[in-house]
Amino acid sequence: MTHLTTAPLLLEPLLAEVTAPHCGGTCIFLGTVRDGPEDGGVTGIEYSAYDVMADAELERIVTETRRQWPGARIAVRHRLGLVPAEEASIAIAVATPHRADAFAACRHVIEEVKQRLPIWKKELRADGTATWVDPSGHPSMVGPQ
Amino acid sequence: MTHLTTAPLLLEPLLAEVTAPHCGGTCIFLGTVRDGPEDGGVTGIEYSAYDVMADAELERIVTETRRQWPGARIAVRHRLGLVPAEEASIAIAVATPHRADAFAACRHVIEEVKQRLPIWKKELRADGTATWVDPSGHPSMVGPQ
Amino acid sequence: MKGTPGGTVTVRVRFFARYAELAGRAEGTLTVPLPATVSDVVDRARHEWPGASALPPEPLAAVNLRHVRLDASVSDGDEVALLPPLAGG
Amino acid sequence: MKGTPGGTVTVRVRFFARYAELAGRAEGTLTVPLPATVSDVVDRARHEWPGASALPPEPLAAVNLRHVRLDASVSDGDEVALLPPLAGG
């Protein structure tokens, strides 16, 4: 389980993993639990995973991305368990010799993550309800918890 | 001088500046001093600036970027003085409701910075030489220091 | 190895998130006749475990930690996972 | 305010980085006849300070903290900055 953790995600250690003398540009992406006006009072999200596969899939995404952007240094962490609103559920750091590649490769990783990781989220709301999130657009209430 | 500093750039405080409940995606870009195989033993870069204008220009870039991506939260720091190899000279953080905008707005800021900031750099090498860097491709030796 | 001498394969089936709630279980073991696909395993699961009948017609699936199509074949000892719509990131 | 009664403008000129090394100074004050552009200030600087003659024909320039073209006009009291190729970021 190198890419999964239940602890809060920290940026500096992730950055240290990708820093290298030949890399002049680093792009970091953070996905955070949102509670905007349209989000209905989300207090946090409970992330669950098919953890062994999620970890393997992340490793495959990293390997494929390195192949597409040779020389890229990549670190990824996905948080599991309860992630409170405004905290990060995923952090991706990519360092490359030149900046355009850092942006492109980092974007590539998050798009692959969204499409491939066997991870699920249940939105927890202030009113006590919990909802499985279906990004394809069909939320399904699972009742007060 | 809100955007300029001579201190090492730290990520967590920058992230804290842009974090907001309505923002689900954050993109951070770091430009670091490179010393790759083709860079000829760069030990550091001495950054100098027309500081009042650089600060004003950064503020204008931030304002323009916020106008182009409404709701974006943006923080930028440019480091001045001696920046050792592998340390960051610039850090840009952009948080937006959705991730595509975070990448696009962050990329926009660094491209504008490269084109507009009155900041100059002198590459310092292990052999004692120092060279003003002209990104248009005409380095000019200024002799051992 | 494509199955037991009797012409069947036994696989471990795993359910996650909402599907585990629907099926009322996180995992189970199923035996299906050869030749068998993931789809055959899903059909068998619907009959074996009442709650699993509420699974959508074509759920996402993985075999041995890799995404597969429902017409992928399964072998004895495989781990077949049925995955609700992915929401990582 | 476009100048003194005598028909001239006095501006503060600033040099940075390599240009400061060439000009042998970081700043100075110049007076040029009206109407005056940034280009007129640059030409005057070349004559006033020998090292400044080594400046490129068309340096980047800023007036009062904003980038301007060399044909921009200057007013009394302006701060005119001559900027080597930018290398921020």
Q: Answer whether D7's CB lies under 8 Å from D33's CB.
A: yes
Mean pLDDT of the residues in chain C: 94
Tokens coding A15: 């950055």
Mean pLDDT of the region A64-73: 97
For D85, which of B57, B90, B134 is closest by C-beta distance?
B134
Its pTM stands at 0.93
Query: Model confidence over C33-62: pLDDT tens digits?
Result: 999 999 999 999 999 999 999 999 999 999
Residue C12 has pLDDT above 70, yes or no: yes
Cα–Cα distance measured from residue D50 to residue C41, given in angstroms and rounded to the nearest whole number: 87
> For every residue of chain B, which 3-state class applies, written as one string?
CCCEECCCCCHHHHHHHHCCCCCCEEEEEEEECCCCCCCCCEEEEEEEECHHHHHHHHHHHHHHHHHHCCCCEEEEEEECEEEECCCEEEEEEEEECCHHHHHHHHHHHHHHHHHHCCEEEEEEECCCCEEECCCCCCCEECCCC
Peptide bond into D59 cis (omega under 30): no
Nearest-CA neighbor of A53 among B79, C80, C17, C66?
A: C66
Residue A26 has pLDDT above 80, yes or no: yes
Nearest CA in chain D to B135: D87
Q: Which has the higher per-residue pLDDT, D1 or D81?
A: D81
Cα–Cα distance measured from residue A68 to residue A98, given in angstroms and rounded to the nearest whole number: 14
**How far from chain centre, in Å, is Cα B53?**
15
Mean pLDDT of the residues in chain A: 93
Nearest-CA neighbor of A45 among A60, A56, A34?
A: A34
What pLDDT, on a 0 to 100 scale, did the predictor assign at position A79?
Answer: 98
Tokens coding A40: 């209905």
Cα–Cα distance measured from residue D63 to residue B23, given in angstroms and rounded to the nearest whole number: 38
The side-by-side arrangement of strands in the sheet containing A42-49 is A81-84, A42-49, A119-125, A130-132, A140-141
* Cβ contact, residue pair B135, D21, below 8 Å: no
What pLDDT, on a 0 to 100 scale, did the predictor assign at position A140?
Answer: 56
| Residue with the two structure tokens 């974090």 | B19
End-to-end CA separation in angstroms for chain B: 29
Residues of chain B with pLDDT under 70: 1, 138-145
Mean pLDDT of the region D37-64: 97
Strand partners, A3: none
Cα–Cα distance measured from residue A6 to residue A88, given in angstroms and rounded to the nearest whole number: 11
The subunits that touch chain D, with at least 3 C-beta pairs less than 8 Å apart, are B
Identity (one letter) of the amino acid at A66?
R
For strands B119-125 and A81-84, give the pairing. Answer: unpaired
Chain B residue numbers touching D66 (CB-CB < 8 A): 53, 56
Cα–Cα distance measured from residue D10 to residue D14, given in angstroms and rounded to the nearest whole number: 13
Query: Which secondary structure element, helix H or strand E, spans residue C18, and what is its range?
Result: helix C17-23
- For residue D63, give how far its alpha carbon lies from the nearest alpha carbon of chain B (Å): 10
- For residue A48, give how far its alpha carbon lies from the nearest alpha carbon of chain C (Å): 7
**If interface means Cβ-Cβ distance under 8 Å, which residues of chain B face chain A?**
10-12, 15, 19-37, 39, 85-86, 88, 95, 97, 99, 102-103, 106-107, 110
* Cβ contact, residue pair D88, B53, below 8 Å: no
| Residue with the two structure tokens 């992330």 | A47
- For residue D9, give how far its alpha carbon lies from the nearest alpha carbon of chain B (Å): 22
What pLDDT, on a 0 to 100 scale, did the predictor assign at position A144?
Answer: 40
Cα–Cα distance measured from residue B92 to residue B85, given in angstroms and rounded to the nearest whole number: 19
Identity (one letter) of the amino acid at A15?
L
Mean pLDDT of the region A67-84: 97
What pLDDT, on a 0 to 100 scale, did the predictor assign at position B144?
Answer: 41
Cα–Cα distance measured from residue B123 to residue B145, given in angstroms and rounded to the nearest whole number: 11
Q: Answer whether A18's CB lies under 8 Å from A91's CB.
A: no
For A35, which of B21, B25, B32 is closest by C-beta distance?
B21
Residue C8 has pLDDT above 90, yes or no: yes
Mean pLDDT of the residues in chain D: 94
What pLDDT, on a 0 to 100 scale, did the predictor assign at position B13?
Answer: 95
Tokens coding D56: 């490129």
Q: Answer whether A111's CB lies under 8 Å from C62's CB.
A: no
* Cβ contact, residue pair A25, B25, below 8 Å: no
What pLDDT, on a 0 to 100 scale, did the predictor assign at position C34?
Answer: 95
What pLDDT, on a 0 to 100 scale, did the predictor assign at position B37?
Answer: 82
Mean pLDDT of the region A50-70: 98
Q: Percent of chain C having pLDDT more than 70?
A: 93
> For every residue of chain D, which 3-state class applies, written as one string?
CCCCCCCEEEEEEEECHHHHHHHCCCEEEEEEECCCEHHHHHHHHHHHCHHHHHCCCCCEEEECCEEECCCCECCCCCEEEEECCCCCC
Nearest CA in chain B to A101: B107
Nearest CA in chain C to A46: C17
Mean pLDDT of the region C6-24: 95
Query: Model confidence over B73-92: pLDDT tens digits?
Result: 999 999 999 999 999 999 99
Count the neighbouring beta carbons within 10 Å of the beta carbon of residue B46.
17
ipTM for the predicted complex:
0.92
For strands A130-132 and A119-125, give the pairing. Answer: antiparallel
Residue A30 has pLDDT above 90, yes or no: yes
Mean pLDDT of the region D1-25: 87
Mutual orientation of helices B99-116 and B51-68 as an angle, nearest 10°?
Answer: 150
